[in-house]
Amino acid sequence: MNDKYAKQLKKGVLEILVLKLLAGQEKYGYQLIHELKLKSDDWFTLKEGTLYPILYRLEEDGMIESRWTLAKGKEVSKKYYTITGKGKVQLQELLRLWDGFSTKVNEILKEGGDGTEEGAG
């Protein structure tokens, strides 16, 4: 697959996916990266440099909140993220938008023909 196009397609849905994963329970960054990779059969393999700007943006917009845990023994402190009420409302709106968007894209992609306009030429 052409990485350029795959990257653009993925970019458009990452915020929805992060909000959806956080809707279930609070998670820290590595958990989100691991869960996205696992649930997508390696389709969404994110680096920290991709995920954290999304988390910061969502937090700045009031969609998620974060909290630090205290280090215990050999365990390091972790920053957990959780979805807010505003984030839950936004997630529902994004899911409706995604449903309409993906439905229309799929309708067009499933149309017959070879991709050329009829009557052209």
> Can you give the residue ranges of every domain in the chain?
10-108
Helices 14-24 and 48-60, interaxial angle, to 10°?
A: 70
CB atoms within 10 A of CB 63: 24
For the stretch 60-116, pLDDT in tens is 999 999 999 988 888 889 999 999 999 999 999 999 999 999 999 999 999 876 655
- Nearest 5 degrees, angle CA 42-CA 48-CA 53? 115
Rounded to 5 degrees, what angle do the CA atoms 48, 22, 29 make?
20
| pLDDT tens, position by position, 73-82 | 888 899 999 9
> Is 1.10.10.10 the CATH number for 10-108?
yes
Whole-prediction pTM = 0.83
